Each structure stands twice: as C-alpha cells, then as structure tokens.
Structure 1
Amino acid sequence: MSDLNSLFEAAVANSKMLSERPDNATLLKIYALYKQATVGDNAEKKPSLTDLVARAKWDAWAKLKGTAADAAKQQYVDLIASLRD
C-alpha cells in the first residue's frame, strides 16, 4: 500500500474522532472528497430537489468531477489534518 493510501485510511479513521463536529459546508467537502477518492467521478442519478440533503451531497461530489483519486485523497488528508489542529 502506498504512503498516500495509508495516510488516507488514517485520515478516514481520524475523521470519526474529531473533537468538534465540522460545519455543514465542511462535512459536504469531506463527503465529496471521500467519494471522489474512493469511487471517482459522480455518475449517480441526480436526486430530487425535494431531497435537500441528498441533493447537496450529490452537488458537492459533482463539483469534483475530473479530480484524480490521488489528488482527492491528498485534499482529504489535508482537510482532516487541518480540523484536528
């Protein structure tokens, strides 16, 4: 396993142990970076406008289209590290 993958897995574990719950915008960024890093570009059907949470998550992930998995992993690692400081 590469160093980046190890750092990413550690960041995923650390994200569950943050001392404070991040704000909603940060949570969406965490979600989107995780999905981009692990799944790739968003190819799922766009949720209904009435499902606000699913739609916000879908939109956040869709904004990362074209971001390489390794780049998303590094951004995820950096974001979680900044939240732990």
Structure 2
Amino acid sequence: MGLKEDFEEHAEKVRTLTTSPSNEDLLILYGLFKQATVGPVNTSRPGMFSMKERAKWDAWKAVEAKSTDEAMSDYITKVKQLLEADSSAAST
C-alpha cells in the first residue's frame, strides 16, 4: 500500500475513535491534513474574533515547511497514537 492510500485509510480510521481527541490533538491533525492535501497555507490569517478559525490556520501554518509526504507520514503516526490510546482507554 502506498503512502497516499495509507493516509486516506487513517483519515477514515480517525473517525472511529470512541473518545474525542484533545483540542491540541485535533489542531495537529487539522494542520497536517491540510498540509498533506492542500500544501502550504494559501489564505490570509483570520481576524482575532474568529478564534477557532485562527487556531486552525495557526496549526496549518506551523507545519507548512513539511513536504506532502512528511505531512502524510506525520498524520498517520498521530492517528496511530490516538487509536492506540483510545483502545487502551476502552480496555480499562
């Protein structure tokens, strides 16, 4: 399986989590996903009254130096960590 297919599979798997990831983890996933699928940030930073959109933009901007493959690989790693934590929490 190629990296792109593995990435798409993990993008689906993240939806199966039984516990919601922390806001920090969600922002990491968002930034990596956008970098992997869109590339470097291509919009201006939202205004200070759009705090949620601004946080998402900042998360994406923080990883814009990564290549598409690096972003996909990091995204897969993060999803695996969250799935592992989710399964260990469910078994206790």
Q: Normalized against structure 1, the TM-score is what? A: 0.95
List runs of 5+ in structure 1 lacking aligned partners: none
Matches within 5 A, 1:1-85: 3-85=2-84
- 1:66 Cα deviation from its structure 2 partner: 1.6
User: Which is higher, the Rg of structure 1 or of structure 2?
Assistant: 2
* Percent identity of equivalent pairs: 33
Alignment partners' CA distance in 2, 1:81 and 1:65: 22
Q: Which has the higher helix share?
A: 2
Deviations 1:3-36 (A, max 9, x none): 1111101000001111210000000000000000
Distance, in Å, in 2 between the alignment partners of 1:76 and 1:9 is: 10
Task: Name the amino acid aligned to 1:4.
Answer: L
Output the amino acid matched with 1:76. Y
Which of structure 1's runs of 4+ aligned residues deviate more than 6 A?
Answer: none
Secondary structure of the structure 2 residue equivalent to 1:28: helix
Aligned equivalents of 2:64, 2:74: Cα separation in 1: 14
Where does the alignment leave 5 or more consecutive residues of structure 2 unmatched? 85-92
On the 8 A contact 1:19/1:84 being kept in 2, the answer is no
**Contact 1:32–1:61 (Cα < 8 Å) also in 2:** yes
What letter matches 1:81 in structure 2? K
The Cα shift of 1:70 comes to 0.3
The one-letter code matched in structure 1 to 2:19 is E
